[in-house]
Chains A and B, each alone.
Chain A
Amino acid sequence: MEQPVTVAIIEDHPVVTEGVASWIRSDPGQRVRLVQTARDLTALGAVPRPPTDVVILDLELSGELVTTQIPDLVAAGYRVVAFSGHSDPAIVMETLDNGAHAYVSKDEGRDHLVEAVLAAAADRPYVTRSQARAMLADQRPARPALSEQERQALLLWFQGMSKASVGRRMSISENTVRQYISRARAKYAATGRTAPSKDALLARAIEDGVIKAGEIVPYESFAHAAADAETRAAADRPSLGAPGR
Chain B
Amino acid sequence: MTAAAPTAVMSGRYQRAFTIAVLFLVAGWHLAGAGGQLLNNRPAYASFAFQGAMWLVMALAIAAGSVLVLRGSPGWLPAWTVAVIALAASTAAAAASPAGQMLAVNWSWGSAGWTGVLVLLRRRFTELASFLAAEALAILGVQVWDGLNRSDLAGFLAVLAWSTGAQIAVAAGVKALDAAAGQAAAAARSEDAARERAATAEIIRAARHARWLALQENAVPLVAELAAGMADPGDPRVRIRCAVQAARLRRLLAEGDEVLGSLVHELHASADVAERRGVAVEIETAGSLPQVPGPARRVITDAAIAILTAARSQARITLATVAAGIAVSFVADTGAVVGLPAAGEGVAIEQQQDGGILWAEARWNSR
Contact = CB atoms under 8 A, between A and B. Distances in A.
A160 B287 contact: no
- The size bracket of the interface on A is 20 to 34
Interface string A226-239: 00010011000100
A168 B354 CA distance: 9
B331 A232 contact: no
Interface stretch (A52-60, A132-140, A212-220): A132-140
Contacts of A159: 316, 318, 320, 327, 329, 331, 359, 361
Given A159-B316, A160-B318, A165-B359, A133 B323 contact: no
Contacts of A160: 316, 318, 329, 331, 359
Given A169-B359, A232-B322, A233-B367, A139 B354 contact: no
Contact of A136 (B287, B324, B331, B357): B287
Contact of A169 (B321, B324, B327, B352): B352
Contact of B320 (A107, A136, A161, A233): A136
A137 B321 CA distance: 8
A interface, by DSSP: helix, strand, loop or mixed? helix
A100 to B, nearest CB: 20
Interface in A91-112: 107
Nearest to A161: B359
Nearest to B329: A159
Contacts of A165: 352, 354, 357, 359
A137 B354 CA distance: 27
Interface in B87-118: none
Given A155-B322, A229-B323, A237-B350, A161 B331 contact: yes
Interface of A: 87, 89, 107, 129, 133-134, 136-137, 139, 155-156, 158-162, 164-165, 168-169, 229, 232-233, 237
Contacts of A158: 284, 286, 318, 320
Given A159-B316, A160-B318, A133 B284 contact: yes
- The size bracket of the interface on B is 20 to 34
Contacts of A136: 286-287, 320-321
Contacts of A87: 284
Given A89-B286, A159-B318, A162-B354, A233 B323 contact: yes
B320 A155 contact: yes
12 contacts: A136-B320, A137-B286, A155-B327, A156-B359, A158-B318, A159-B329, A159-B361, A160-B316, A160-B318, A161-B331, A165-B352, A233-B323
Contacts of B367: 233
Nearest to A229: B323
A-B pairs, 8 with minimum CB distance? A160-B331, A159-B329, A160-B316, A233-B323, A137-B287, A136-B286, A232-B323, A137-B286
A129 B286 CA distance: 11
Given A134-B286, A155-B327, A159-B331, 11 more contacts: A89-B286, A137-B288, A139-B287, A155-B320, A155-B322, A158-B286, A159-B316, A159-B320, A161-B331, A164-B354, A233-B323
